[in-house]
Amino acid sequence: QVQLVESGGGLVQAGGSLRLSCVTSRITFSIYDMGWYRQAPGKQRELVAVITSGGSTNYADSVKGRFTISRDNAKSTVYLQMNNLKPEDTAVYYCNANIGVSNYWGQGTQVTVSS
């Protein structure tokens, strides 16, 4: 059974930092494009950042310059380093693994940024 397990969420003050991790199992991690999405209460899930199997990255405009996505293929893990957090970053953050025909989600980790 494929698993994506996020960790690293929590409560932080505005201006602080958090590092999210997503450990995957039972997928050939290196061939998947990996992404982080978030969903705030009452809002649709939105893309935060993606890193392709080749290492190319793309970010939502709202997080550019503050968040960094990275991956470690040897550990089947994708990370999201979040700096200079803002209250509007408060959401549940989800890890995603995608190669088109296969698409998997983690259970999410809560990030709360206080002002």
d(CA 102, CA 104): 7
Q: What is the pLDDT of residue 89?
A: 98
d(CA 94, CA 100): 18
Token pair for residue 26?
């039972």
Residue 20: both structure tokens together: 């999210």
Q: Return the pLDDT at 107.
A: 97
pLDDT tier for residue 38 given thresholds of 50, 70 and 90? very high
Total Cβ atoms within 10 A of residue 107: 11
Can you give the pLDDT at residue 9? Answer: 98
The pLDDT of residue 109: 98
Mean pLDDT across the stretch 70-84? 98
Tell me if residue 2 falls in helix, strand or coil. coil
DSSP-assigned beta bridge partners for residue 104: 97
